A and B are shown apart, each in its own frame.
Chain A
């Protein structure tokens, strides 16, 4: 049985469209791998307890807190970080543009997580209610905006991304 034990785990991640094969030590988090190994500094470290949501990324299309996700457990996964949203030419994704235009961020520390959580919501639900937004963003803390402008940004993003729904 001991042959099952290893000092590290080989994982395959496609991060923002780019394939990586990585040999990771157990107990390293996905956040560590993204920031330290792959240089994806857009994903932020906040609390390391899963409370604040600053480290939010998408794993196989679903939001997750990368600081409480052990990298070794992701043997094959598709990861989307905030850096995967903008076009190659640098033009912002419509949801990023909506947050910019509606002042959905102030200091910006929580913004990568808030944007990704909002994106998962509106991809599933093109016309979310305020309550839907509150549920979707319950795992993301923002200490600046007071959430009003965040909700406005989400609504605006829906209008731009799914105009037929309004």
Chain B
């Protein structure tokens, strides 16, 4: 904690990584700053050193191969919403990024990397990425390491810190036949979600072939529900199945959050509701929703 912090702007990943390794606690990584600046402004965080990774070109850009979309962590939310490679291959992620609060100003500067490493349970990107089984690449003193976002979430408490730098987000492109939905249940237009559900579904004719749900804003970490939904596979969707999916997803919420977004009992119930509505959106059955866009 320092009233006279230092500032560094490493030019490449090697410099950044070496610098972070050489610093003791008290450093913070900054890029868009949309996550940490409110804390700085109110003195909640008083870092000794700011390591500004905004000048590192290797952390920029989106590239799409046939079997993988690679997203640089400095990609801002506005680009996640609009870049062709993401809109076409990962429409669920593009849609979820539009639900991020704070307005265009925040979408223009906030980065997908910052959103992920904050590991904030109320944020919108993680549920979408976890529903898509995304992986991440991290760079630390020990070298580069690839793991699933789910593993990273299990390892981290309240963010990634400065032990490593998130260098890539890697997602398999969604097939054109993949159905998807994202439902953010919130109290007012600018509010955080009280339950954020992302759903990815494959159909075989009328029947559900696979379904994977990721629910944010209900517990401290995003909950992925997939195996528990196996009993609904092989049959068609109906409103009864929808209610059963709702119950299964609600039951998957262990210790619900209880905060300004609503108390725990309600959050647990709404997690299921958001999951059902996201499923209905995926299947084109959500009545009160505007069209995907």
Q: Is the CB of B103 within 8 A of A4?
A: no
B235 at the interface (CB under 8 A from A): no
**Complex Cα spacing A134 to B104, Å:** 11
Interface residues of A in 42-71 (CB under 8 A from B): 48-51, 53, 56, 59, 62-65, 67-70
Q: Which of A6-14, A82-90, A153-161 contacts B (4 or more CB under 8 A)?
A: A6-14
Which residues of A line the B interface, CB within 8 A?
1-2, 4-9, 25-27, 29, 48-51, 53, 56, 59, 62-65, 67-70, 72-73, 75, 117, 120-121, 131, 134-141
Please classify the interface of chain A as helix (H, G, I), strand (E, B), loop, or mixed, using the class held by over half of its residues. mixed
User: Interface with A: B34-42, B146-154, B155-163, B259-267, which one?
Assistant: B34-42
Among listed B50-58, B133-141, B198-206, B276-284, interface-contacting one: B50-58
Pairwise interchain contact B105-A73, C-beta atoms closer than 8 A: no
Q: Report Cα–Cα, A50/B103, bound state, in Å.
A: 9
Residues of chain A within 8 A of B268, CB atoms compared: none
Q: How far is the CA of A59 from the CA of B107 in the complex (A)?
A: 13
- Provide the bound-state CA to CA distance between A135 and B293, in Å: 12
What's the nearest-Cβ distance from chain B to residue A137, in Å?
7
**Bound Cα distance from A62 to B104, whole angstroms:** 9
* Interface residue B242 (Cβ < 8 Å from any Cβ of A): no
> B8 contacts A7, CB within 8 Å?
no
A139 to B31, CA, bound (A): 20
**Closest beta carbon of chain B to A66's beta carbon, Å:** 9
Contact A139 B102 (CB under 8 A): yes
Does the CB pair B38–A138 fall under 8 Å? no
Q: Quick check: B7 and A1 within 8 Å, CB to CB?
A: no
Q: 8 shortest A-B CB distances, which residue pairs?
A: A139-B103, A26-B7, A68-B37, A49-B38, A48-B41, A62-B108, A4-B8, A138-B103
Tell me whether A117 and B41 are in contact in the complex, defined as CB-CB below 8 angstroms, given that A26-B6, A75-B9 are known contacts: no
With the chains together, A136 CA to B102 CA distance in Å?
11
Q: Which residues of A are found within 8 Å of B38, using beta-carbon distances?
A: 48-50, 68
User: Which chain A residue lies CB-closest to B46?
Assistant: A27
Determine the chain A residues whose CB is within 8 A of the CB of B78 once the complex forms.
62
Best-buried of B19, B34, B52, B108 by chain A (most CB within 10 Å): B108
* Partner pick for A136 among B5, B104, B106, CB 8 A cutoff: B104
User: Are B190 and A51 closer than 8 Å at their CB atoms?
Assistant: yes
Contact at B6–A5, with CB atoms within 8 Å?
yes
What's the minimum C-beta distance from B10 to chain A, rounded to whole angstroms?
6
With a cutoff of 8 Å between Cβ atoms, the chain B residues found around residue A69 in the complex are: 33, 37, 109
Tell me, in angstroms, the Cα distance from A73 to B8 when the chains sit together: 10
CB distance from A10 to the nearest CB of B (A): 10
6 A-B residue pairs with Cβ-Cβ distance under 8 Å, sorted by A, are: A1-B22, A4-B19, A25-B4, A48-B41, A59-B109, A68-B41
Q: Which residues of B contact A131 (CB under 8 A)?
A: 290
| A26 near B106: Cβ-Cβ < 8 Å | no
**A-contact 0/1 string along B44-86, CB 8 Å cutoff:** 0001011010110000000000000000000000100000000
Separation in Å of the B49 CB from the closest CB of chain A? Answer: 7
